[in-house]
Amino acid sequence: MEPLGIKGAFLVSPRVHGDRRGSFHEWFRADAMRERLGHDMKLEQANCSVSARGVLRGVHFADVPPGQAKYLSCVRGALLDVAVDLRVGSPTFGQWDAVRLDEDNRRCMYLAEGLGHAFLSLEDGTTAMYLCSEPYTPAREHGVHPLDPDLGIEWPSDVEIVMSDRDAAAPSLKEALDAGLLPDYRDCLAYYAKLGATFV
């Protein structure tokens, strides 16, 4: 479980055991998460999304507290998973990290509360499974436009992007900032401390 460039974002690379029958790996270990994060990941919801090539979901985030931590794996196909630092006052505010998750590498991404999340499906039938620390609550959910040039996320140029109406209408980073929608870094740090987090 390796930290990425944004505090609170981690890449998990499980050991995959394979033979002529297929493969086996542990895609989630509570004890490993506890050791790396300093606290247990609360599990309140598990989601599964199936996407055609080019489907872009996000950038999504939730109000902190309590926010919504996510742990995502790609069980079929391939996707580009992106963490965006939307925490106002963070040293890496506005920056992003991207990792390819696919059915061969079996890697996972963990994102702490307050981080924005988006992913782009790279193949038809791409299936993402993810665990969430809080249930989906529409009144606390927000988005930032994933194609905002101020974010500058480098999406693959050879993929024709398809977005939901909601994501296509999401505000830019500046608009979300001006509207007071983005989480405050100090609030996030206070919430991490309440959880007992050691990654900050």
Report residue 93 as tokens: 């505010």
Distance, CA of 87 to CA of 114 (rounded, Å): 6
Please answer whether residues 151 and 98 qualify as being in contact, where contact means their C-beta atoms are separated by less than 8 angstroms: no
- Residue 185 burial by Cβ neighbours in a 10 Å radius (0-12, 13-18, 19+): buried
Sequence letter at residue 131: L
- Residue position matching structure tokens 């050691």: 198
| DSSP bridge partners of 129 | 48, 73
Q: Which residues are catalytic?
A: 60, 130
